[in-house]
């Protein structure tokens, strides 16, 4: 789901349309992402956007690990060719949480 700087959904890939089908699927395009979240989530979204806007080097922000779906969730900045912030999207990365044991190159003690 790609959003512009006004939090308007401008694109949804096929997986996103299917994932959010019960909430309207493709019909969400052109609508505000903020209408799909509670106030706490909206505050987080706005804080991350402000962080993205602070520096062209601020481009990805870890939000949380979803235990139920075994995935990490990030917000990612979208920038134009001049590095101006033009939008953002949420990235879902399915993976197992690191469980490397001591003595195998892990910093975990």
Encode 18-68 in three state secondary structure. HHCHHHCHHHHCCCEHHHHCCHHHHHHHHHHHHHHHHCCCCCEEEEEEECC
Residue 106 has pLDDT above 50, yes or no: no
Q: What is the pLDDT of residues 21-36, one digit of tens each?
A: 999 999 999 999 999 8
Tell me the pLDDT band of 97, cut-offs 50, 70 and 90. low
Contact of 3 with 33, CB cutoff 8 Å: yes
Q: Is residue 88 part of a domain?
A: yes
CATH code of the domain in which 77 resides: 3.30.450.20
Which residues constitute the domain of residue 69? Answer: 2-94
Q: Is residue 24 part of a domain?
A: yes
Contact of 77 with 85, CB cutoff 8 Å: yes
Q: Is residue 28 part of a domain?
A: yes
Structure tokens at 108: 């975990």
Q: Is residue 99 part of a domain?
A: no
**93 vs 59: CA distance, rounded Å:** 16
Q: How many domains does the chain have?
A: 1
Q: Is residue 26 part of a domain?
A: yes
Mean residue pLDDT across the chain: 88
**57 vs 8: CA distance, rounded Å:** 24
């Amino acid at each position: 789901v790609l959003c512009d700087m006004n939090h308007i959904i401008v694109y949804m890939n096929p997986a996103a349309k299917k994932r959010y089908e019960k909430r309207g699927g493709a019909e969400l395009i052109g609508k505000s992402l903020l209408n799909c979240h509670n106030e706490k989530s909206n505050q987080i979204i706005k804080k991350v956007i402000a962080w993205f806007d602070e520096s062209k080097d601020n481009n990805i922000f870890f939000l949380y690990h979803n235990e139920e779906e075994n995935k990490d969730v990030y917000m990612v900045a979208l920038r134009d060719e001049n590095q101006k912030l033009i939008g953002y999207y949420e990235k879902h990365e399915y993976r197992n949480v690191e469980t490397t044991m001591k003595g195998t190159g892990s910093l975990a003690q």
